[in-house]
């Protein structure tokens, strides 16, 4: 199908428009040269607008569409950490649509309020802090807490819309839309074969993989890990794809939820490795391109390692989807004990 036909099919789903789209597709020849890549194109979802942007802005257009069509007056969601991008964009998107938000974050509240948390507080989300209980798996504790908050809001006469996880089927529609954008942008550049990578273990890689199939594009799509891989990832992604398929009238993907995940799958979440800091420095120093330490910096480092090991096609241009997350740059001290950049640069040798 054509990008226009894909857009039309997605158009059947309720949506509230506030993202700055299409996001730019920019060429970074100096970064590519320094990193030894054939060509590097960066899809600038970090500039998708709304409170420091990021790919989640796309996702929340469809989430808000669903929420408002059900008469919701408050979004309820949870984020893993104080530096949650999901919580920030949820809070901003709710305000933009004229409703409230409640977010549950893993406590305690840090003494210094910076980065994403600063923005989420400024926007006036009702933030609840979850006491972390080592005897309970965090995910279960988070979901239990979210359901309790949602029930309380309903008892108080509100109409809450609950997102139990940052991974929501409506988000897949946002990335199908991104696939349509990318197809048109690559056509304009005369590029028909490409490697498309995105820091994602969820809606991003599912949506782009499905989008490439629907559009009949010769793209190698890979998710780049931003945490260790959960054991049930395949099952979760299959469920995500199945739930997304129910939202639109489109051909079902060949293997729903079957995606390629590459990159650094061994480091825990939000613990940047020296390779992450080095990749951030490379992009910043050679291209003025800012990456964040949790998702895009780690993803970029993973992409470079995979290219060097020969797992990415040698000659294909690489499209790196910059999913955002930049407010976390200002929380550097939470993520690196204040040692970066000096100590990490020294530890990792040259940035290139």
Ligand X SMILES: Cc1ncc(COP(=O)(O)O)c(C=O)c1O
SS3 89: helix
34 versus 199: smaller Cβ distance to ligand X:
199
Write down the H helix ranges in 216-273.
233-245
Q: Which of 166, 213, 267, 276 binds ligand X (CB under 6 A)?
A: 166
Q: How, if at all, do strands 218-224 and 126-130 pair?
A: unpaired
SS3 83: coil
Q: Which of 53, 204, 272, 317 binds ligand X (CB under 6 A)?
A: 204
The helix (run of H) or strand (run of E) holding residue 193 is: strand 193-199
Cβ atoms within 10 Å of 185's Cβ, excluding its own? 18
Among residue numbers 255 through 284, which ones bind ligand X (CB under 6 A)?
Answer: none
Residue 128 in tokens? 């609840």
Residue 209 in tokens? 């993989």
Pick the piece of the chain touching ligand X (CB under 6 A) from 187-195, 234-242, 250-258, 320-328: 320-328
8-state DSSP, 133 = -
Compute how many residues bind ligand X; rule: CB under 6 A. Answer: 17
Cβ atoms within 10 Å of 49's Cβ, excluding its own? 15
Pick the piece of the chain touching ligand X (CB under 6 A) from 26-34, 139-147, 202-210, 344-352: 202-210
202 contacts ligand X (rule: CB under 6 A): yes
**Closest distance to ligand X from the beta carbon of 174 (Å):** 10
Residue 187 in tokens? 């056509």
Q: Which of 200, 209, 213, 276 binds ligand X (CB under 6 A)?
A: 200
Q: Which of 52, 295, 300, 320 binds ligand X (CB under 6 A)?
A: 295
Compute, in degrees rounded to 10, the torsion defined by CA atoms 136, 139, 144, 145: 100
Pick the piece of the chain touching ligand X (CB under 6 A) from 102-110, 126-134, 279-287, 321-329: 321-329
90 versus 214: smaller Cβ distance to ligand X:
90
Q: Which of 77, 85, 195, 213 binds ligand X (CB under 6 A)?
A: 85
209 contacts ligand X (rule: CB under 6 A): no
The gap from C-alpha 263 to its chain's centroid, in whole angstroms, comes to 15
Cα–Cα distance, 274 to 336 (Å, whole number): 10
**Closest distance to ligand X from the beta carbon of 195 (Å):** 18
120 contacts ligand X (rule: CB under 6 A): no
Cα–Cα distance, 164 to 146 (Å, whole number): 7
Owner of token pair 């948390």 = 117
Q: How many CA atoms lie within 13 A of 341 on its CB side?
A: 14
Among residue numbers 212 through 241, which ones bind ligand X (CB under 6 A)?
Answer: 226
300 contacts ligand X (rule: CB under 6 A): no
54 contacts ligand X (rule: CB under 6 A): yes
Q: Which of 72, 203, 280, 289 binds ligand X (CB under 6 A)?
A: 203
Given a contact cutoff of 8 angstroms between Cβ atoms, the answer to whether 269 and 227 are in contact is yes
Q: Which of 160, 253, 317, 324 binds ligand X (CB under 6 A)?
A: 324
**Closest distance to ligand X from the beta carbon of 152 (Å):** 26
SS3 30: helix
**Closest distance to ligand X from the beta carbon of 350 (Å):** 26
Which residues contribute to the site for ligand X (CB under 6 A)?
54, 56, 85-86, 166-167, 199-204, 226, 295, 323-325
């Amino acid at each position: 199908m054509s990008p226009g036909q894909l857009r039309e099919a997605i158009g059947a789903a309720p949506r509230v428009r506030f993202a700055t789209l299409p996001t730019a597709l920019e060429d970074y020849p100096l970064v590519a040269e320094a990193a030894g890549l054939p060509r590097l194109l960066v899809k600038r979802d970090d500039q998708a607008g709304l409170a420091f942007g990021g790919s989640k802005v796309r996702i929340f257009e469809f989430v808000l569409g669903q929420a408002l069509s059900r008469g919701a007056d408050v979004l309820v969601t949870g984020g893993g950490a104080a530096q949650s991008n999901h919580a920030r964009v949820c809070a901003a998107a709710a305000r933009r649509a004229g409703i409230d938000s409640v977010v549950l974050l893993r406590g305690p509240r840090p003494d210094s309020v910076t980065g994403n948390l600063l923005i989420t507080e400024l926007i006036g989300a009702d933030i609840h802090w979850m006491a972390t209980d080592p005897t309970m798996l965090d995910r279960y504790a988070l979901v239990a807490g979210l359901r309790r908050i949602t029930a309380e809001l309903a008892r108080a006469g509100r109409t809450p819309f609950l997102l139990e996880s940052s991974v929501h089927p409506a988000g897949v529609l946002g990335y199908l839309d991104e696939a349509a954008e990318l197809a048109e942008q690559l056509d304009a550049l005369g590029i028909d074969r490409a490697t498309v990578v995105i820091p994602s273990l969820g809606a991003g890689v599912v949506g782009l993989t499905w989008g490439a199939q629907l559009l009949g594009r010769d793209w190698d799509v890979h998710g780049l890990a931003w945490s260790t891989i959960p054991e049930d990832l395949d099952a979760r992604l299959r469920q995500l794809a199945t739930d997304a398929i129910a939202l639109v009238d489109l051909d079902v993907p060949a293997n729903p939820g079957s995606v390629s995940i590459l990159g650094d799958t061994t480091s825990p979440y939000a613990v940047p490795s020296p390779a992450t800091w080095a990749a951030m420095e490379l992009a910043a120093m050679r291209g003025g391109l800012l990456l964040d330490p949790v998702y895009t910096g780690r993803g970029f480092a993973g992409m470079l390692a995979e290219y060097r090991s020969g797992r990415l096609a040698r000659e294909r241009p690489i499209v790196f989807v910059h999913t955002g997350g930049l407010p976390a740059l200002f929380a550097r001290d939470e993520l690196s004990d204040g040692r970066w950049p000096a100590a990490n640069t020294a530890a990792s040798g040259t940035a290139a």
